[in-house]
Amino acid sequence: MQKSIVIIPTYNEIENIELIIRAVFSQSEAIHILVVDDNSPDLTALKVKELQNEFSKRLFLETRKEKSGLGTAYIHGFKWCLGREYDYIFEMDADFSHNPEDLIKLYNACHVEGADLAIGSRYITGVNVVNWPMSRVLMSYLASKYVRLITGMKIYDTTAGFVCYKRKVLETINLNTIKFIGYAFQIEMKFKSHLKNFKIVEVPVIFTDRTKGESKLSSGIISEAIFGVISMKIKSLFKK
């Protein structure tokens, strides 16, 4: 996994951060991590700084002043990575909902099989979700169906947050035009990649809900995704 970096956005992930960092590093001696922390009150960033003494050349930290949303954290991370010589840039949650052992699957989909964007998909082979209540599984599954219908993308897991980008994808997309900050950010990035005709593949993974810490999902994030998708599609038609 040469020239690969995993971006992990954090807010109050003190219970998970050391474990996830060690788990990711155990997958490959070449892989790097960038933690983008939104000034977590539980001192997540301080724990990362401590771990930097052990992983000085592989672990990096960007601390922002306040909680500003998932999308802006990733955009911050993307720009940081593009300023360095990384060819494969990953998105990954801190809470072990994404299995670090699946990083190599996403990497191979891009590096070996020629994809430009590889998605760790919960729905490409059915519904592969563990420990979610049925109501949330249905909400997530139907949301992806809804996004497929509105956007025309042939992607089963449109809201997935476990992703590998080839560098050229992030260099081609104007990151300053990305508007959404919640889970709709994941949809927007896939849609922009789709409009640029990048090769997008889905790799089946099993998603396991967090066992430590608190979920960041809120009604505002959900409404952004529902109404934002229609707005995004309409704007793309006018641009054509």
**What was the pLDDT predicted at 233?**
85
Q: What is the mean pLDDT of each run of 10 residues along the chain (240 residues)?
A: 95 96 97 97 97 96 93 97 97 95 98 98 91 83 87 92 97 93 88 96 92 61 71 78
Q: Are 118 and 38 in contact (CB under 8 A)?
A: no
In the prediction, which pLDDT does 11 show?
A: 95
Instruction: Annotate 109-126 with b (16+ C-beta within 10 A) or e (fewer).
Output: bbbeeebbbbbbbbbbee
- Local structure of residue 74 (DSSP, 8 states): H
pLDDT for res 183 = 76
pLDDT (0 to 100) of residue 46:
98
**Are the C-beta atoms of residues 47 and 14 closer than 8 Å to each other?**
yes
- Number of residues written out for the chain: 240
Q: Residue 190: which of 225, 155, 162 has the closest Cα?
A: 155
CB environment 44-64: b (16+ within 10 A), e (fewer) = bbebbeebbeeeeebbbbbbb
Q: What is the pLDDT of residue 139?
A: 83
- What contacts 205, CB < 8 A, 6 or more positions away? 98, 99, 102, 105, 120, 121, 122, 128, 162
